[in-house]
Structure 1
């Protein structure tokens, strides 16, 4: 009979590309992973890995066993989750990943609410970009991820991931207060064709979204300031150097010299809570409920802030 932990070791080597990387993920030593693989090869009676330069690659038998092994491990995870769900008590560990704006603004309140309702829950958090969080979900490195999906650049979710829509956010344009359009109730992006822009670094999702969004409005953007923080981008705007697109979720404060103006048509994104399809423990469902509750409360306060900023620019 094939050993589950040996299958897990083989799948980890396939996922991470080497014995050393697989060992790091599994919290084992490389020799421990190698021993698991040697025992698995003995059980199936054929080599599963072969030398490939300075590393190894799967044989045909290894590739077949990885496909079957992933299905077996998914079934086992689902069985464990279903057994756990029979217990209505919400307890245990909840590992959450989130993009930075949500981590700073909403997540602390959601965790505090969850812990107040369920003191036995232990929560850990890692902040990262959406593109990095999705692989962490599929590899079961985290249980729940808060990610964003712009309607003009929709997020593609892996097949084994399900999502719950917990919020809709909007991006406004930040302009220097002395800009001719700073006092408008709303502005169309094609009216800003001559403005340089401040945004995140090239290759990051928000940079790509900004460029695509402006091009759809007939503007070829000049991104002059690549700074990986919305607060820093607003400082460039405050000194009259650039415009910036700022999601309301990220707009904690607005410095003097900046006017926040709604964009027409509105630039919307969905905030999603995602989990593996086979991960439905009560603690994960409780985490989603807490996030939904806190985001719902944040919607009202965000609308108040946005209306105030539009009517009374700094």
Structure 2
């Protein structure tokens, strides 16, 4: 059994197809299949099965993939022993985040790192994905900023380290002159009769709006579906629709909005850093995590 074979099996569990594994590892699908076949020769129990035209892991394959995480982590710790010993701070780190957190945090994180005498080589990107797709991004990025509603299922535990960053209230956003802006808090019944701007289905604002409709016991009128919070804020500020926006990363910075908490419902999202455990052995990654925490603390202090 070779480390490369365990890495291939792990990526097949995470990404779901031989083609996706090949693209991520920069090899051909045939090379991936050969690694899986070589690993299979070590075991009598089948590790994979055909699912339509795709190759999927059996329960035994998933068990081996999860066990392989510990092996990969141990080897990563060994590979990074010299870097850890020397406390190298200048390694390259890739960070991905969803749009609103990138707009609010990326500049602050770069400023935090700029103040260090030696800093990581940080590479930033953004990904607009639904909640269940965030964990798979750790196959392509060292650190992934992810969000989920407080009451939604937790992130998968296998092969993933979750670093909590913030619990962010999601407020009702109104135009400054809206009649409901005179109230200090709003219930689902208060807002159920309004026209709404929300996200596409499968993203957290729309999931939360479904809870508002359920508690108000009536359907809501959705006038616009927009995923970008900056665009949502501009539509709300123009009047004619209200929305739900995160308080720290979006709401306090948007002009022309009145933010009001939503009562009677858990209107909070978690912002977490997702990473593979072996990445945290690197000093450069640790420094970026520290910068993220400091930048988020400053954002919360400004918005509270």
Structure 2 length as normaliser, TM-score? 0.80
Report the count of equivalent residues: 296
Cα pair distance change 1:193/1:123, threshold 3 Å: same
User: Between Structure 1 and Structure 2, whose CA radius of gyration is higher?
Assistant: 1
Q: Give, in angstroms, the shift of residue 107 of structure 1.
A: 1.7
The residue that corresponds to 1:261 in the other structure is: 259
Cα separation, 2, equivalents of 1:267 and 1:65: 39
> Where does 1:76-95 land on structure 2 (aligned, <5 Å)?
76-80=75-79, 84-95=83-94
Cα separation, 2, equivalents of 1:148 and 1:282: 25
**Which secondary structure does the structure 1 equivalent of 2:183 belong to?**
coil
Q: Give, in angstroms, the shift of residue 97 of structure 1.
A: 1.9
Cα separation, 2, equivalents of 1:117 and 1:215: 49
The residue that corresponds to 1:191 in the other structure is: 190
The residue that corresponds to 1:96 in the other structure is: 95
Cα pair distance change 1:171/1:38, threshold 3 Å: closer
Q: Is the 8 A contact 1:97 1:133 kept in 2?
A: no
Q: Give, in angstroms, the shift of residue 201 of structure 1.
A: 0.7
Q: Is the 8 A contact 2:205 2:244 kept in 1?
A: no
Q: Give, in angstroms, the shift of residue 43 of structure 1.
A: 6.3
**Which secondary structure does the structure 1 equivalent of 2:241 belong to?**
coil
> Where does 1:148-167 land on structure 2 (aligned, <5 Å)?
148-151=147-150, 153-154=151-152, 156-159=154-157, 160-167=159-166
Q: Give, in angstroms, the shift of residue 28 of structure 1.
A: 1.0
**Which secondary structure does the structure 2 equivalent of 1:106 belong to?**
helix
Q: Is the 8 A contact 2:148 2:271 kept in 1?
A: yes
- Structure 1: where are the runs of 5+ without partners? 304-314
Cα pair distance change 1:61/1:291, threshold 3 Å: closer
The residue that corresponds to 2:145 in the other structure is: 146
Cα separation, 1, equivalents of 2:167 and 2:136: 23
The residue that corresponds to 2:205 in the other structure is: 206
Q: Is the 8 A contact 1:149 1:270 kept in 2?
A: yes
The residue that corresponds to 2:134 in the other structure is: 133
Considering only aligned residues, what root-mean-square deviation do their CA atoms show, in Å? Answer: 3.2
Deviates more, 1:17-26 or 1:67-76: 67-76
Cα separation, 1, equivalents of 2:166 and 2:175: 29
Q: Give, in angstroms, the shift of residue 144 of structure 1.
A: 1.8
Cα separation, 1, equivalents of 2:102 and 2:37: 43
Spell out, residue by residue over 1:166-211, the C-alpha distance to the aligned partner (whole angstroms, 9 max, x if none).
3342332222444322233333332122112111012222211222
**Which secondary structure does the structure 2 equivalent of 1:169 belong to?**
strand
**Which secondary structure does the structure 1 equivalent of 2:180 belong to?**
coil
> Where does 1:15-34 land on structure 2 (aligned, <5 Å)?
15-34=14-33
Q: Is the 8 A contact 1:81 1:278 kept in 2?
A: no
Cα separation, 2, equivalents of 1:134 and 1:74: 17
Cα separation, 1, equivalents of 2:20 and 2:273: 28
Deviates more, 1:185-194 or 1:209-218: 209-218
Q: Is the 8 A contact 1:201 1:226 kept in 2?
A: yes
Q: Is the 8 A contact 1:189 1:263 kept in 2?
A: no
> Where does 1:1-314 land on structure 2 (aligned, <5 Å)?
2-40=1-39, 54-57=53-56, 65-66=64-65, 68-80=67-79, 84-117=83-116, 119-128=118-127, 129=129, 130-137=131-138, 139=139, 141-151=140-150, 153-154=151-152, 156-159=154-157, 160-216=159-215, 220-248=219-247, 249-251=249-251, 252-255=253-256, 259-265=257-263, 267-280=267-280, 281-303=282-304
Cα pair distance change 1:83/1:133, threshold 3 Å: farther
The residue that corresponds to 1:311 in the other structure is: none
Cα separation, 1, equivalents of 2:149 and 2:43: 47
Structure 1 length as normaliser, TM-score? 0.78
Cα pair distance change 1:245/1:15, threshold 3 Å: closer
